């Protein structure tokens, strides 16, 4: 009887050790999930910051012509009528 109880206890310990290290919800799997969660949080933070910048830009564009004019000057190189454009070339 003692041998039977010892065998049962050893089998239970082996079973729980297997589940702890290799089974579903194991330590390895938990670490992988934590790493993936950290990556997703970082990616989400980057997207949130990008969205805030875009929202601020849309808000500026809705405000008035100054923002539109500034973008046209910076990105498209446009100038107003009767305005003189000077280009400085540095070597």
pTM above 0.75, yes or no: no
Question: Is the distance from CB of 75 to CB of 81 less than 8 angstroms?
Answer: no
Which of 8-12, 13-17, 34-38 ranks highest by mean pLDDT? 34-38
Q: How far is CA 7 from CA 12, 13, 15, 19, 62, in A?
A: 9, 10, 12, 18, 76
pLDDT at 21 exceeding the cut of 80: no
Domain ranges of the chain: 46-80
* Residue 9 zone, left/alpha/beta (φ > 0; ψ -120 to 50; rest): alpha
Residue owning tokens 């990616």 = 43
């Amino acid at each position: 009887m003692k041998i039977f109880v010892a065998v049962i206890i050893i089998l239970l310990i082996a079973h729980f050790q297997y589940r702890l290290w290799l089974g579903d919800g194991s330590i390895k799997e938990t670490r992988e999930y934590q790493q993936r969660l950290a990556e997703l949080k970082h990616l989400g933070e980057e997207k949130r910051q990008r969205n805030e910048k875009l929202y601020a830009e849309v808000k500026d564009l809705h405000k008035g012509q100054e923002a539109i004019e500034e973008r046209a000057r910076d990105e498209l190189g446009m100038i107003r009528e009767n305005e003189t454009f000077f280009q400085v070339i540095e070597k």
